[in-house]
């Protein structure tokens, strides 16, 4: 899992069939203190996180494959939680 901030959305005219209908976002990984760590990564967003919102990503490709229902999806990351601005609470999908 990875803590990150939403920095934008990706729009594509052509994509892998498993990505059709999924919102893909640019996520900036953050360290435990909220500082940028590493380079931005892409993730699908089934939760609808807002720009600059902090999220928790699953970086396990198996989870992403299960969410999109395709064992050959090119994406590896999926948002699994949106953190509360105070950092005290996380919204997790049912």
Residue 27: give its domain's CATH number. Answer: 2.40.50.220
How confident is the model over 33-69, as pLDDT tens digits?
A: 889 999 999 999 999 999 999 999 999 888 888 888 8
Q: Does 94 fall in a domain?
A: no
DSSP-assigned letters across all residues of 25-75 = EEEEEB-TTS-B-S--EEEE-SS-PPTT-EEEEE--HHHHHHHHT-TT-S-
Examine the pLDDT at 93 and tell me if it is beyond 60. Answer: no
Q: Does 52 fall in a domain?
A: yes
Examine the pLDDT at 88 and tell me if it is beyond 60. Answer: no
pTM for this predicted structure: 0.81
Q: Which of 10-14, 24-28, 40-44, 83-87 has the lowest mean pLDDT?
A: 83-87
Q: Does 37 fall in a domain?
A: yes
Q: Does 90 fall in a domain?
A: no
Query: Domain range for residue 46?
Result: 2-80
Total structural domains within the chain: 1
- DSSP-derived letter for residue 8 is E
Q: How many CA atoms lie within 13 A of 3 on its CB side?
A: 12
């Amino acid at each position: 899992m990875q803590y990150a901030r939403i920095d934008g959305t990706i729009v594509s005219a052509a994509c892998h069939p498993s990505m059709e209908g999924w919102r893909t976002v640019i996520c900036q990984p953050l360290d435990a203190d909220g500082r940028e760590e590493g380079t931005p990564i892409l993730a699908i967003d089934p939760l609808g996180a807002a720009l600059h919102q902090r999220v928790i990503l699953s970086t396990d490709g198996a989870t992403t494959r299960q969410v999109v229902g395709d064992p050959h999806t090119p994406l590896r990351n999926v948002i699994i939680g949106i953190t509360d601005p105070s950092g005290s609470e996380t919204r997790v999908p049912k």
